[in-house]
Amino acid sequence: MTTTPQQRPGHPTHRVLVLGAGYAGLMTALRLGPHAQVTLIDPADHFTERVRLHERAAGRPDVTHPLAHFLHRTGIEHVPARATALDPEARLVTTDDGRRLPYDRLVYALGSRTALPATTGDPRAYTAESADALHKHLRDRPGTVAVVGGGLTGIEMATELAETYRPLGTSVRLLSGGPVGAGLSPRGAAHVHRVLQARGVRVEEGRRIATPDEVDADVVVWAASLLPNAELAASAGLTLAPSGRVAVDSSLRSVSHPEIYVPGDAGAAATAEAGGELRMACATALPTGIHTARSIARELRGEEPEPLGFAYHFQCVSLGRRDGLIQFVRPDDSPRDRLLTGRPAAAFKELVVRGATWFIRRSAHRH
């Protein structure tokens, strides 16, 4: 259902289209609502807590929230459609239901997805995005599970699945091309390995897997890497960075089309404090969404956008429901020796995850 904007006396007519209702897109839309005529384009009628998808795979009841709850009385229109074409010269977005929507500013917040090899047709293959189907399969058919990818996403998925489904007869392996938890401190990585062992997860390092077809398991969960959803931008002629993300300036504007902002995973945002390009994560999506809204609001006042300032503080890792790891890091995301583990870390991570959704919701009512 389309959420129709409520007209307010003196409501601004500057048209801003926001593509994507994830962490970055929804935050940008809500912060911009009081300053412009905002239209949010996303085929889903809900916001998904992507950082909880491993929990959903393990049977958490729901990790979504109706968009209507966020957009109520904000004046923001939700168009439940998928953007299929972008024409920067005409400043038009075409959707899969045939609409042609004009804009003055565009926010390209289409995020990222798990980089499942396009050549695979293996029905055993799942990703975090298919958490619902993965849960239903493992609930009904215990067997062998192989999680591919030894980064934080793979670690969280493996521990969560083992904690939930091992008592039901499912065994879990974690396959990694390099050391598991390579970006953590030695103490942090050691804690991760202890928890994996305690959960009965068999760790196999040095396993370079090209496709799920190479893995001997009943179920293969692909968690090897993320891919920015930059295809629409590329086809429209926006300049891409070497990483495949949209190249942006210090204010998050496309370097080739400055009327287009790219917060979140799709944009190659970088700061001096962080020492280069920011990683794809909720931790960067929210602040870049806020910065995008502030920058557009400044432009509407005739002011120049300011450069993004961002530095890292910690990484949160779920290790099931009863354990976790908070790895404190330097501003450039390199690990410090300081960390928090066990139940306190699990509680801290839960507070951060809940806080992210609360913060987005609060943004709708802060003006």
pLDDT digits (tens, 9 = 90+) for 100-129: 999 999 999 999 999 888 766 788 999 999
Give the pTM. Answer: 0.94
Provide the terminal-to-terminal Cα distance of the chain, rounded to the nearest Å: 26
Model confidence pLDDT, tens digit, residues 168-210:
999 999 999 999 999 999 999 999 999 999 999 999 999 999 9
Q: What DSSP state is assigned to residue 248?
A: B
Question: Where are the domains positioned within the chain?
Answer: 15-114+227-311, 125-224+313-355
Tell me, yes or no, if the two domains 15-114+227-311 and 125-224+313-355 fold the same way: yes
For 125-224+313-355, give the CATH class.
alpha beta
pLDDT digits (tens, 9 = 90+) for 333-356: 999 999 999 999 999 999 999 999
The stretches of 217-341 forming alpha helices (DSSP H) are 231-235, 282-300
Superfamily of domain 15-114+227-311: FAD/NAD(P)-binding domain (3.50.50.60)
